[in-house]
Structure 1
């Protein structure tokens, strides 16, 4: 609590009715203010208005360095705001020394003050200084003056400003406490966001805490988000988490995988089509952008879309407008777009393989998902999570098995870990999982040290292994290899 001086009640009776009413209104006004800037501006305006001052300064006082700095001014030449005149500094120092308002009725008749050049230049008649306190110490001073062609300040003004100083000082104490609490709350909120769980995403490592904080922060906005990360890091889960934590959480969340899909098919899925737009278009159909209106639309593997579709997507991001295939009507949509890729879009934009303007539209708020090898401390949590999901009954994980997981480099990230745990549960006997049940063979793909054939032979063996893994599904095979379905088809044709 500030050490506020108590002005005698007898002094209150000496001020006029108009100034007494001003004190009442001032106390109500100051009680509503919650920020220092507002208090400073209002206090200075009130002093200038009530005592009919011509000019005013609010000066911050640094007790440690015994220095003054101007933080607000009224009717003072802006070019002079950077420095206080010797005269002003002298008045301020007297207010500091007395810790009370100081009034000089007739400056030019005072031999100690009339010598200052600024008094003559500005024809200053009266000067008054008012201290503002915080915790018993002077925090700042309000300085006001009046020129010869205006009336001089009075003792009534001095008494009024004595009361005014107390009111402003009390308001300042309250505001500083409020701002300190607000700052503390912001710090706590940031810490909470850094540790708060993201829906469906498991991890307590530092990279995951940082990612969680970014997801919580951007979820509160409608900003476009670009999620970057290797395959299997959980980019789809991050997109869903942003949606679930956003104001759109009760609206649709739609996702579209953009990799290895023919242009015409992907375009009709995204934008819809008009009846008769092409063979088989027997009725109008809404595209996913329209279906996701008011909600969130997630575009996975955005780096794989063609140049033609990139141009159409740019229009959606710029204007929130779409046009169905075969239609000339523009439809407005309100949809938040989240995109994801495992490619370096900035590098692709530099080489012209990806539109640079689209990249910058997507890259409003990038979030990089850490690969599993960079957050090995999360392996135990993740393994336990997948065991609980897939085990028919409670199953443990032996220390040796956990160590084997930690020693692996995880090229397939969390998705690969999920597969490894599923396989281990099938191989297990119902007890704690053991190292021999943790199969880490990179899914049976041939490895270079043991392979003596040509590059073409390696391609064939790798393609055959992936086709076997995905039961002949060419789309999934292409996706796992990072190539197009057409590439897979051409290789199969070469193989006969």
Structure 2
């Protein structure tokens, strides 16, 4: 950059006042620019105004696919252009190949350029093109053209655009590095949030072994997964396990809780926004879906999002596209969606509060997290794990404590178990936790029970057995049923 100015110092003196003013205006813009697209759109306005072109184009070049994509293009009448075929691909290729500014006053008379079909169709006479170089590669190209023999397309204009492109290169380098740092920061922060105080997936029960097999199988695919289950059953643990076992494991894993968040705030977090989209939007912001590109994105409590947001999420699932708030440009994202809820989505569909098409898009591969009461044989293992993790000491659980834990209903599931263990550790003065240390909020009554009739029956049976120290005859008598019924029910539940 320094050598460029030294070599062209004499030519700089030939720049017009308007060109100097435009360069000054642009350098001020560089200090506040936070998004590459906003920067380029404003830069295109400057180019068109300075050289008085009829049309202007700014394209980004992808060397992997050897293709161009429009970032911004418009006519001097402020009319936008969305079709890249409106411009000469041959001229773009020429600038790309030579990697230097090019100026043609009479394109129609140049045998090397007049052969291009787009030049003939649009009767282009004058064209000026400048490459945007980043890391010694062409990052993008500015093209301005006219159907008239524009005197404004001069060598001084070419020098101006060369200065201009170098400034854009410096700005883009700063913006892209800043965006990469912001993305990395979001990923690290989200990982911290998603792992803090969350236990590992633990359990040797049949239901947990079956669950592990399902997670392993679906992890090998890119299928959308809907994880259902009661609160506290470990739905996010399952989501993270799917990501860690997938081919995307070295890519970002981001999560967003959707419950009790204002709709506009949630939308801006998911999709990002463009500068000026609303009051306080002082710069472009990348959304979490965009930050999770090539990785996995987990939507927790998906049932709580509004129908307007459901429609936008459906577009992500169907077309892998997002649009930032306040923007009109579509961005492609390659992100795997995992979702979770503790509500009955099918019932919400019937009630008309959840879109049926979105439900089927999410429910490609359903996984149900079992409540703790359906995996009671895992309770001793889980309890011992949490005792060691929370206390950091060798504290054991007495058989009376384990028995009390196993006989409880656990409406709050694993989350509630963690709280009970933490409370027991505080109450325990020795290296062993006894039944007296296990304090359960509703152990004295069934008033807070909100399960099904069958679950109530099981809970009542277990409490009566505990009350009579496992005596089946006394338990049957208190419940006014036969001992045979007690035996069959215990066999059905797999309880010795």
Q: TM-score, normalised by structure 2?
A: 0.49
Rg larger in structure = 1
**What's the TM-score, normalizing by structure 1?**
0.49
